[in-house]
Amino acid sequence: MASANLLEVRDLRVSFPLPNRGADSFVRAARGVSFGLSRGEILGIVGESGSGKSVTTSAIPSLLPAHAIVTGSVLYEGRELLGLSGEELRAYRGRKIGMIFQEPGRSYDPLQTMGGAFFETLRNADPRISRTDANRRAAELLADVGLDDAGRRLASYPHQFSGGQLQRIGIALALAQGCDLLIADEPTTALDVTIQAQIVALLRGIRDRRGIAVVFISHNIDLVASVADRLLVMYGGLVMESGPARAVLESPAHPYTKALLAAAPRFGAHCSEGRLQSIPGRVPDPTRHEPGCPFAPRCPRAIPACAAAIPEMASPATSGTDREYRCILEPEAAT
């Protein structure tokens, strides 16, 4: 039966074989990730480096390396995407699913003008488009993402733009083929806080004007919560908590979510007011997963049962069914 969501990810698992380590040696980057996304919704995915965020979302348009082992289901408008190849896959990449990558300065050919980059992109959707029409369309897209003097800047090269400008151009390129889903993989990583706020506001405005769905990935939970309607908190390749962004931010259910929020610096805080909190320990080794909760070795509330098995997702007793978290303990009372 077709899903009511624009995108439905069900029990997605992604592994990478380790060379020269035996037939049973794998990096297990995503371990049963499930979520849905409806039109016009912004889903924020947050977690430390190595939590499985980028691998999970790269699997949606099949941008993983050829040796990746992917199982589960990715449904776009009810159509299974896993296993598509050739023309069928290209019909979804760009035209239905756009992608914004982190580190905008490394996303472009340094010898190609921006006009050339847009011409190549627009030809994927319309092979008969002329250079003149492509330039006109590119100027409209650049103006839509707030780049001044857009028409003249098409003759410029990547090194002639700032990081924030390059990220705006990346957003325009992702939207060039009229996608309905935009995946933003840490689009603010290399930008200062002022430009970060501008990019977040730009993505929210694009969602409002075009009605597209957005997946916003970051390690900064406060930044994600400022733009997202719902949050997905990942750790060790698993979803640890999900729910409405405001509810998760104000009343985190999982100890890992609470630790992420406590470790985030607060605007206006001074170093004399106290030390910045950190999460003790290290992220789990993706090649050697223990049988229990991956956060247990770093969790201040861990009990022996936490190491026995991975908990199932459940709704906190004090919350509705739109909140889920992966823990055998009830959430602590908000303080």
Backbone φ/ψ region at 50: left (φ over 0), alpha (ψ -120 to 50), beta = left
Tell whether 126 is covered by a domain.
no
Longest dimension (CA), the chain: 67
Q: What is the pLDDT of residue 332?
A: 78
pTM of the model: 0.91
Identify which of 208, 207, 240, 294 has the alpha carbon closest to the alpha carbon of residue 53.
Answer: 240
Cα distance between residue 268 and residue 114, in whole Å: 38
Rounded Cα–Cα distance for residues 261 and 256 (Å): 9
Q: Assess contact for 335 and 328: CB atoms under 8 A.
A: no
d(CA 70, CA 83): 9
Is 299 inside a domain boundary? yes
- Asked if residue 264 lies in contact with residue 221, where contact means CB atoms within 8 angstroms, the answer is yes
What stretches in the chain show pLDDT beneath 70? Answer: 1-3, 22-23, 265-274, 318-321, 333-335
- Number of domains the chain contains: 1
- Please, is 334 exposed, middle or buried when counting C-beta atoms within 10 Å of its C-beta (0-12, 13-18, 19+)? exposed
User: Which residues span the domain enclosing 13?
Assistant: 1-40+47-86+181-188+217-264+275-335
Is 69 within the bounds of a domain? yes
Q: Is 108 part of any domain?
A: no
Confirm whether 3 is domain-assigned: yes
- pLDDT digits 0-9 by tens, 77-120: 999 999 898 889 988 998 999 999 887 778 899 999 999 999 99
The confidence score (pLDDT) of residue 285 equals 85
What is residue 153's predicted lDDT score, i.e. its pLDDT?
93
3-state secondary structure of 76: strand
Distances from the Cα of 133 to the Cα of 82, 130, 166, angstroms: 34, 5, 22
Tokens coding 55: 């691998």
Which pLDDT score, from 0 to 100, does residue 3 have?
52
Q: Is residue 254 part of a domain?
A: yes
The token pair that represents 67 in the structure block: 């040796």
Residue 105 in domain:
no
> Residue 303: inside a domain, yes or no?
yes
**Residue 68 is part of a domain; what is its CATH number?**
3.40.50.300
